[in-house]
């Protein structure tokens, strides 16, 4: 069962990487990527429930960071895209609230560092938009590998 959990987490991170590539190329997240992410996360969450390593309330709490991202998208007029929030919402049940939250914090930190670098070296202006899913993929990947 542990191998299945590791496989599902690897598949989830691989799906995040594919979504990140699409976000970089087209500046959008396809419905297929969101659905794939959701299916993998639901399977992993179901496995965790069967193994008694998570409870239903714990999995429900893991949705909070994604919901907050969707609210931020709404309030900022998609300054943070809906696709970013949907991907976070779909990935969260497999990762749990702690890994999801820390992964998103790391993603914001990495995006901030890159943004500062681009601004300082004149490669971007204040209104330049960066795809956020690549940072999410790195942040959540680190959290899965770090086993925090």
pLDDT in tens, the chain (148 residues): 678 888 999 999 999 999 999 999 998 889 999 999 999 999 999 999 999 988 999 999 999 999 999 999 999 888 888 999 999 999 999 999 999 999 999 999 999 999 899 988 888 777 778 899 999 999 999 999 986 5
d(CA 50, CA 141): 24
104, 69 Cβ separation under 8 angstroms: yes
User: Which residue range is the domain that position 78 belongs to?
Assistant: 2-146
d(CA 19, CA 49): 27
Give the per-residue pLDDT at 124: 77
Structure tokens at 77: 């007029």
Q: What share of the chain is helix, strand, coil (3-state, %, to 5)?
A: 80, 0, 20
23, 132 Cβ separation under 8 angstroms: yes
> Cβ atoms within 10 A of the Cβ of 10, count?
13
Q: Is the pTM of this model over 0.85?
A: yes
Give the per-residue pLDDT at 148: 55
Give the per-residue pLDDT at 99: 92
Q: How many domains does the chain have?
A: 1
Report CA torsion sign: 84, 87, 91, 96.
positive
């Amino acid at each position: 069962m542990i191998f299945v959990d590791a496989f599902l987490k690897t598949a989830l991170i691989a799906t995040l990487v594919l979504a990140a590539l699409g976000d970089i190329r087209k500046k959008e997240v396809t419905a297929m990527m969101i659905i794939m992410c959701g299916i993998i996360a639901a399977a992993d969450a179901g496995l965790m429930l069967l193994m008694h390593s998570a409870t239903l309330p714990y999995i429900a709490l893991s949705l909070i960071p994604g919901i907050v991202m969707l609210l931020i998208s709404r309030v900022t007029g998609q300054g943070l895209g809906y696709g970013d929030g949907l991907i976070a919402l779909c990935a969260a049940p497999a990762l749990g609230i702690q890994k999801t939250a820390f992964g998103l914090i790391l993603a914001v930190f990495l995006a901030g560092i890159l943004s500062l670098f681009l601004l300082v070296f004149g490669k971007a202006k204040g209104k330049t938009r960066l795809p956020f899913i690549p940072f999410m993929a790195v942040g959540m990947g680190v959290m899965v590998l770090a086993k925090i």
